[in-house]
Amino acid sequence: MRSEIAIDLGALRRNVRTLLRALEGAELWAVVKANAYGHGAVDCAGAALGAGATALCVATVPEALVLRAEFPGTRILVMGPAANREVAQARDAELALVVSGDEIPEGVAVHVKLDTGMGRWGLSELPALTREVVGVMTHLATADSDVEYARVQVERFRAATEPLSHLQRHVANSAAALRLAEARFDAARCGIALYGLSPFGEDPAADGLEPVLSWTTEVAQAKLLRAGESTGYGRLFVAERDTWVGILPVGYADGFRRDLTGTEVRVGGERRRVVGAVSMDATAVELPGPVPAGAPVTIVGRGMPLEEHARVAGTLTYELACGIDSSPTRARRVVMDAA
Ligand SMILES: *Cc1c(COP(=O)(O)O)cnc(C)c1O
């Protein structure tokens, strides 16, 4: 076993209920794009629906088709653009499409996207609506960082869609669902919070969220570096005095990125620093002394939050989570499904 990725669907269900309480009656749509942010789309979608989510959101038609096979009667919304060939597939599979252009396809449910300030996908004005249009939406650029700007976007959306209250109106992502009441409308599209990660980069417990993913491995080998000896490519870490290091059988090919040098993991419960260059399949940690091969290591989990790695890498938990490779050629994936 190189490493083990455990997915706690009980925690995911509790996160769904926490979000539903925050939403005070608005629907919760589970965003499971990018293989549920690396957590496993089918497992996470099933758990989210079981706990009260009423639709699934993905980025691409192929992602939606995989889910359609598993969840025949469920609403599935494709949020990214669909190619012509994919529109036909979406029609056959009874998906719903988000449309950001003037042309509204026929025979498939459509949610029209307005650009109220994200400056990315979306129309600046509503097009002529056809009977295919069942929803109207926008996406917030700063719900996690600049609430004032998010409020401006919400007000633009409200003004533009005021006469359309018979359609499903949806704006909120996780950050807005948790902390921006006026963005709730009819439904919120929540991703990161389902997985128990803070959209604000803070301790998820501050919003009542529980991390769903944990990632563990073992020390494959402990090695004594004599003063002046180094570990890893480029000799980025040179021991100043005799130093024990533990070699972990996990590297950037598994999603433990090269810019995580300097972060910490827990070895036998104690925090230890990652030293030297992270390589494709191996990572070194500094140890106070020898440990036996097989000593347990928590990369992500209790006492070692993903948010902390994100800070060291100068990125978001979104990006780190998507990059964790839990395919069977790299890791053992364990799904815990206690109610
Ligand atoms: C990914 C995405 C979301 C979910 O955002 P979170 O911050 O993960 O909750 C919502 N809406 C759209 C359009 C998205 O692309």
Task: Say whether 33 is catalytic.
Answer: yes
State whether 186 and 218 are in the same domain: no
Residues 39 and 86 grouped into a single domain: yes
Of 195, 230, 261, the residue that ends a domain is 195
Q: What total number of domains does the chain contain?
A: 2
169 and 129, same domain (yes or no) = yes
Nearest to 108 by CA among 120, 98, 123, 118: 98
CA–CA dist 59, 15 (Å, integer): 22
Distance of CA 320 to the CA centre of its chain: 8
170 and 227 share one domain:
no
Q: Which residues of 299-330 are buried (b: 16+ CB within 10 A; e: fewer)?
A: bbbeebbbbbbbeebebbbbebbbbbbbeeeb
Contacts of residue 162, defined as CB under 8 A and 6 or more positions apart, other chains included, come to none
Give me the residue label for tokens 């000799």.
235
Sequence letter at residue 69 = A
Q: Domain of 233?
A: 213-335
Do residues 187 and 113 both lie within one domain?
A: yes
The verdict on 65 and 125 lying in the same domain is yes
Ligand 1, atom nearest to 80 Cα: 15
Which domain CATH number covers 244? Answer: 2.40.37.10
Inside any domain, residue 116:
yes
Are 222 and 47 in contact by the 8 Å Cβ rule? The answer is no
- Residue 138 to residue 124: CA distance in whole angstroms: 10
Claim to verify: residue 53 and residue 106 sit in the same structural domain: yes
Assess if residue 231 is contained within a domain. Answer: yes
User: Which atom of ligand 1 is nearest to 144's Cα?
Assistant: 7
Select from 195, 229, 255 the last residue of a domain. Answer: 195
- Which residue matches tokens 């129309």? 123
Residue 139 Cβ < 6 Å to ligand 1: yes
How deeply is 91 buried, as exposed, middle or buried, from its count of CB atoms within 10 A (0-12, 13-18, 19+)?
middle
Q: How far is CA 56 from CA 70, 73, 81, in A?
A: 12, 11, 16
Report the atom number in ligand 1 closest to the C-alpha of 193: 9
Site to substitute for ligand 1 among 35, 39, 173, most atoms within 8 A of C-beta: 173
Protein residue with its CA nearest to atom 12 in ligand 1: 139
Q: Mark which of 195, 225, 257 sits at the end of a domain.
A: 195
3 CA → ligand 1 middle, Å:
29
> What CATH number did the domain enclosing 103 receive?
3.20.20.10
Do both 229 and 170 map to the same domain? no
Q: Does the residue 204 lie in any domain?
A: no
Q: What are phi and psi of 80, to 5 degrees?
A: -90, 175
Residue at 317 is within a domain: yes
Is 3 among the domain residues?
Answer: no
Do 126 and 251 lie in one domain? The reply is no
- Splitting the chain (339 residues) into consecutive groups of 10 residues, what average pLDDT does each group show? 95 98 98 98 98 98 98 98 96 98 95 96 92 97 97 97 95 98 98 98 96 98 98 98 98 98 97 98 98 97 97 97 95 90
Q: Are residues 191 and 217 in the same domain?
A: no
